[in-house]
Amino acid sequence: MLKYILRRLVMLIPVLLGVSILTFSLIHLIPGDPARSMLGEKSTESQLEQLREELGLNDPYVVQYGRFVGKILQGDLGESVKSQEEISIEIASRLPATVELTVFAMILAMVVGILAGVIAAVKQYSWFDNLSMSGALFGVSLPIFWLGLMMIWLFSVKLNILPASGRISNDIELHTITNFYLLDSLLTGNWAAFKDVFSHLLMPGIALGTIPMAIIARMTRSSMLEVMKQDYIRTASAKGLARHLIVFQHALKNAFLPVLTVIGLQFGLLLGGAVLTETIFSWPGIGRYVYLAVMGRDYPVVQSSILIIAVIFVLVNLITDVLYKYFDPRISYD
Amino acid sequence: MNKKVLWTLFGMLLFVVLIASGCSSDEAGSEDTGDDTAEASDDTESGEDGEKTLVFGRGADSVQLDPSQITDGESIYVTNQLYDTLVRYKEDSTEVRPSLATEWETSEDGLVWTFQLRDDVKFHDGSDFTAEDVVFNFERWATSADFIYYGYMFGATEDNLKGIIEKVEATGDYEVKFTLSEPNAPFLYTLAMPPFGIASPDAVEEYGDDYFKNPVGTGPFVFEEWVKDDSITVVKNDDYFDEPAKVDKVIFRTIPDNGARFMELQSGSIDVMNGLNPQDIEQAESDENLQIIRRPSMNVSYMAMNTDQEGPMGNKEVRQAINLAIDKEKLLTLFEGVGKAAKNPMPPSLWGYNDEIEDYGYDIEEAKKLLAEAGYADGFKVTLYSMANPRPYLPQPKVTAQAIQEMLAEVNIEVEIVENDWDTHLAATENGEHDMAFLGWTGDNGDPDNFLYVLLDKDNAKMGSAGNVAFYKSDEVHDLLKAAQTEMDQEKRSELYMEAQEIIHEDAPWFPIAHTTPPLAASKDVVDYLPHPTGSEPFNFLDISR
């Protein structure tokens, strides 16, 4: 097992190399001039030229790429062209925001999605099955933008029960340790902050979690239906085992493998794909950070952050693969 | 083992469900009785001890809080609260009034400017403001090309980082003398620009490269906190020498989506916002709790015609005909209520604007007649270069280009639209690759020179770095604009600019399109918000009536 994990970690190297080359070429293919983006139209030609020289934009692409990789190998993510801040510092404050939101959304999606899927399968063609599965179809086709704005309109403008955006209210004091606000408020035992942070998480969490929730529900249902037809389930029933034991222990465990795959993939997607949610709910996360960097042609930020996101994506996939073994002991990695 | 993991996993899920449901019902419960979140936002606005907080919602965070190093409006919004300039713009115009300097005089030849400074000003860090500090700031700005506006406004180059400011000396504790290498009448107006806010030398030295995160000025508000991509908080400066602030705290919140920001305003969690969607203007106007604040325009959008060519564009009659053949009123419907028709190259909010000039108007027959006279009755082909992205002064470039294409087809002019992203568009037009091109300009110092000289003088019609993309080279206009640069009397300058506008109107190097007034929306509780043409304003005059 350990060997397998190690092998997978070594595999990271070519993946990251590929990602870095791809990102580097793509960002340089987009028309635009970082110097001009940064200095704006009120800049003189000599100022532009000086900045291009400073940023090394006049060097051949190979040299620029080599410099980028060289720095990364020394653990230096570089400096943002726009804000002149260390990228590692900027990511350190934004990544936890996105991870917190993503984990929250995924937990929401898993709990609701799996439960709905299981019940829908067990009570196939019942009203619950029909309702939840058409709901899932609806959920998977909902544009996040629309859903987000509608929720803000309903819960913040009309009902005024949830904050419209941001991570925490301005008047709430929170001593941050990990930058995961929910965790920090728990660690410091700050219940007012916990409640505030939680209420801020709800709407973006639901908006972000809706699509994976729908996918998980449908996947769980179809997978459960298949397993429930198996002979060993009939045998278990015949033995007189309690219904909940059959469903949750015998059936779900076997039906869980494809669901796990979906969860792993969706989790990775959410990390990078939270741009829309982060925009609507003013969530200061990594998705928007990269988006703005692309728009502003902030090359170092785009390259370094995408690399970090790629690492996380690969690690999540690795964790998923390792978890397979627990659900299906027949899988062997050696 | 496997069973255990499975159960632990489900246990965790169950636990989370319980917490989630428990919390949300708890939430709902307290809402019913106490309206928790609403209460929280009320707190931020008028707290228990009567503290007044203004929350300003905007689309993007500031880039840096050192105004000398940035050009983005969102940074300047904040630095306007923190810094003062030697002279400042009046609240409702781009004329200047005393600020850190109480009075000033110019030498006969316009080369030496002497300013008397206030002796009762302290920086936010407690240090006294003196003439030496002014010298420090100007010398700092002349050390590197990073100080974008200094280089841009004072003509600094790589070889001459000082530009036209030869020398800045402290001639007394509270007297400072500038020596210029050439007379420059707009100098005074330029000094009022936010990028030339005076920073505390102690703080600049203490923080070094991190100064932009720890700004220290003399302004009506003191910097308190910056949470990147989220909010910037400033608090009232109790020792402010000018009009003291009426609110105790201002929070600038970043809310990227225009629609979401408007809903925050409706729900009362923010008090003022910029970047309103045009379709939300009507809704805000009909909402009894909200008001629309229209900022006087300081920009212009135009279609420049490349006059420096053989062929139709070099012909004055043709350019006039194009002005006559485009229905400007119809184009303005594309601005969704934020645009006013432009007839001059500068906006009416500036002094020196010539309101006597009558626009060409829409007259197809007259246009056809002029084209026939010029020998182009059968028409011709031209390119129209357009930017792909909306600009503040031109919200829908693509549709506007198509509308002009259709209108000019009426007089047999066949328009080919060439669309580029912004950077490419700028480079192409500066190189004069176009026959006609869309462009626009947002003013810097509120001086007519900043529009007419920058955009239409022959000095700026240099291939490759042109600000004058019509490549309009009128000697008459050049003489007038040059004379206005060396004339120190504002009234006389105003006359020179009026005359220049008449010649430009007659020569028609442009089809002027519009001046836009980007609206702000605010709660009705916000009073005395004085929107300034330059794009942002200090918040020491406004108040919250609660």
Taking Cα atoms as reference points, which of B522, B514, B521, B517 lies closest to residue B535? B517
pLDDT, position B292? 94
Q: Say which residue the tokens 């996993």 belong to.
A: B9
Q: How far apart are CA B481 and CA B479, in angstroms?
A: 6
How distant, in Å, are the alpha carbons of B74, B193, B256, B296 from that of B536?
A: 9, 11, 19, 11
Burial group, residue B529, by CB count within 10 angstroms (0-12, 13-18, 19+): middle
Residue B417: band (very low, low, confident or very high) from pLDDT cuts 50, 70, 90: very high
Residue of chain A whose Cα is closest to the Cα of B61: A284
Mean pLDDT, all residues of chain A:
87
Q: Say which residue the tokens 């704005």 belong to.
A: A149
Q: How far apart are CA A20 and CA A61, in angstroms?
A: 13
Q: What is the DSSP string of A271-304?
A: HHHTHHHHHHTT---HHHHHHHHHHTT-HHHHHH
Average pLDDT over residues B104-111: 90
Considering the domain boundaries, does residue A5 fall inside one?
no
The DSSP bridge partners found for residue B105 are B114
The helix/strand/coil state of B461 is: coil
Q: Are residues A143 and A227 in the same domain?
A: yes
Considering the domain boundaries, does residue A27 fall inside one?
no
Which residue type occupies B139? E
Q: What angle do CA A256, A122, A232 make, to 5 degrees?
A: 65
Q: Give this prediction's pTM.
A: 0.83
Q: What angle do CA B38, B39, B41 make, to 5 degrees?
A: 65
Task: Give the A:B interface size as CB pairs under 8 Å.
Answer: 168
Average pLDDT over residues A196-219: 93
Number of structural domains in chain A:
2
Cβ pair B260:A280 closer than 8 A: yes
Residue A334: band (very low, low, confident or very high) from pLDDT cuts 50, 70, 90: low
Cβ pair A282:B253 closer than 8 A: yes
Better pLDDT: B496 or B395: B496
pLDDT digits (tens, 9 = 90+) for B456-470: 999 888 887 778 999
Cβ pair B259:A167 closer than 8 A: no
pLDDT digits (tens, 9 = 90+) for A263-277: 888 888 887 668 889
pLDDT digits (tens, 9 = 90+) for B40-68: 444 444 444 678 999 999 988 898 899 99
Q: How far apart are CA A39 and CA A29, in angstroms?
A: 21
The alpha carbon of residue A187 is apart from the nearest alpha carbon of chain B, in Å, by: 16
Rg (CA), chain B: 27
Rg (CA), chain A: 24
Q: At what angle do helices A61-73 and A2-29 cross, to 10 degrees?
A: 150
Q: What angle do CA A130, A132, A135 make, to 5 degrees?
A: 105
Average pLDDT over residues B197-223: 94
The ipTM of this complex is 0.81
CA B191 to chain centre: 16
Phi, psi of B340 (to 5 degrees): -120, 140
Q: How far apart are CA A292 and CA B255, in angstroms?
A: 14
Q: Buried (b) or exposed (e) across B449-473, using 16+ Cβ within 10 A?
A: bbbbbbbbbbebbeeeebbbbbbbb
Q: H/E element holding A230?
A: none
Nearest to B267 among A39, A84, A156 (CB): A156
Cβ pair A157:B152 closer than 8 A: no
Mean pLDDT, all residues of chain B:
88
| Domain around A301 | 91-327
Considering the domain boundaries, does residue A83 fall inside one?
no
Nearest to B145 among A46, A196, A279 (CB): A46
A58: left (phi over 0), alpha (psi -120 to 50) or beta: alpha
Q: What is the DSSP string of B259-311?
A: HHHHHHHHHTS-SEE----HHHHHHHHH-TTEEEEEPPP-EEEEEEE--SSSS
Residue of chain A whose Cα is closest to the Cα of B16: A107
Select from A16, A49, A76 the last residue of a domain.
A76
pLDDT, position B504? 96
- B228 chain-A contacts, CB cut-off 8 A: 90, 93-94, 284
Q: Are residues A320 and A175 in the same domain?
A: yes
Considering the domain boundaries, does residue A20 fall inside one?
no
How distant, in Å, are the alpha carbons of A8, A16, A315 from that of A311?
A: 12, 7, 6
- A199 chain-B contacts, CB cut-off 8 A: 27, 36-37
Taking 70 as the threshold, does the pLDDT of residue B34 lie above it?
A: no
Q: Are residues A67 and A130 in the same domain?
A: no
Considering the domain boundaries, does residue A22 fall inside one?
no
Considering the domain boundaries, does residue A189 fall inside one?
yes
Nearest to A166 among B72, B230, B465 (CB): B230
Q: Are residues A304 and A204 in the same domain?
A: yes
Q: Does B256 touch chain A (CB under 8 A)?
A: yes
Nearest to B256 among A32, A167, A282 (CB): A282
Cβ pair A111:B13 closer than 8 A: yes
Q: Where are the alpha helices (DSSP H) in chain A?
A: 2-29, 34-39, 45-55, 61-73, 87-122, 127-141, 144-151, 181-187, 191-228, 231-239, 243-245, 252-273, 275-280, 286-295, 299-327
Q: What angle do CA B60, B543, B283 make, to 5 degrees?
A: 60
Q: Does B149 touch chain A (CB under 8 A)?
A: yes
Select from A11, A46, A76 the last residue of a domain.
A76
- A171 chain-B contacts, CB cut-off 8 A: 40, 43-44, 47
Taking 80 as the threshold, does the pLDDT of residue B31 lie above it?
A: no
The helix/strand/coil state of B434 is: coil
CA A275 to chain centre: 10
Using H for helix, E for strand and C for coil, what is the string for B301-367? Answer: EEEEECCCCCCHHHCHHHHHHHHHHCCHHHHHHHHCCCEEECCCCCCCCCCCCCCCCCCCCCCHHHH
Cβ pair B158:A46 closer than 8 A: yes
Q: H/E element holding B178?
A: strand B175-180
Taking 60 as the threshold, does the pLDDT of residue B112 lie above it?
A: yes
Q: Are residues A250 and A161 in the same domain?
A: yes
Taking 60 as the threshold, does the pLDDT of residue B433 lie above it?
A: yes
Q: What is the CATH number of the domain that holds A214?
A: 1.10.3720.10
- B263 chain-A contacts, CB cut-off 8 A: 149, 152-153, 156-157, 164
The helix/strand/coil state of A331 is: coil
The DSSP bridge partners found for residue B519 are B294
The helix/strand/coil state of B442 is: strand
The alpha carbon of residue A171 is apart from the nearest alpha carbon of chain B, in Å, by: 6
Q: Are residues A190 and A46 in the same domain?
A: no
Considering the domain boundaries, does residue A9 fall inside one?
no
Q: H/E element holding B69?
A: none
Cβ pair B71:A195 closer than 8 A: no
Taking 70 as the threshold, does the pLDDT of residue B475 lie above it?
A: yes
Average pLDDT over residues A155-160: 90
- State which of A33-37, A173-177, B395-399 shows the largest mean pLDDT: B395-399
Select from A76, A111, A132 the last residue of a domain.
A76
Q: Are residues A37 and A176 in the same domain?
A: no
Q: Are residues A295 and A210 in the same domain?
A: yes
Cβ pair A288:B156 closer than 8 A: no
How distant, in Å, are the alpha carbons of A40, B57, B69, B80, B135 from that of B65?
A: 16, 17, 8, 10, 21
Q: Are residues A224 and A272 in the same domain?
A: yes
- A90 chain-B contacts, CB cut-off 8 A: 228
Q: How far apart are CA B357 and CA B509, in angstroms?
A: 15
Taking 80 as the threshold, does the pLDDT of residue B9 lie above it?
A: no
Q: Are residues A51 and A170 in the same domain?
A: no
Taking 70 as the threshold, does the pLDDT of residue B4 lie above it?
A: no
* Interface test mutation site (partner A, options B207, B232, B253, B257, max chain A beta carbons within 10 A): B257
pLDDT, position B46? 44
Q: How far apart are CA B398 and CA B425, in angstroms?
A: 13
Instruction: Please tell me the number of Cα atoms within 13 Å of B106 on its side-chain side.
Output: 17
pLDDT digits (tens, 9 = 90+) for B117-164: 999 999 999 999 999 999 999 999 998 878 888 988 888 887 888 889
Nearest to A199 among B27, B55, B424 (CB): B27
Considering the domain boundaries, does residue A49 fall inside one?
yes
The encoded tokens of residue B389 equal 């992205």
Average pLDDT over residues B319-345: 93
Q: Are residues A198 and A319 in the same domain?
A: yes
Residue of chain A whose Cα is closest to the Cα of B73: A40
Taking Cα atoms as reference points, which of B491, B433, B488 lies closest to residue B113? B488
Q: Are residues A278 and A224 in the same domain?
A: yes
Taking Cα atoms as reference points, which of B354, B311, B343 lies closest to residue B498? B354
The encoded tokens of residue A245 equal 């034991």
B 481-520 residues inside an 8 A Cβ radius of A? none
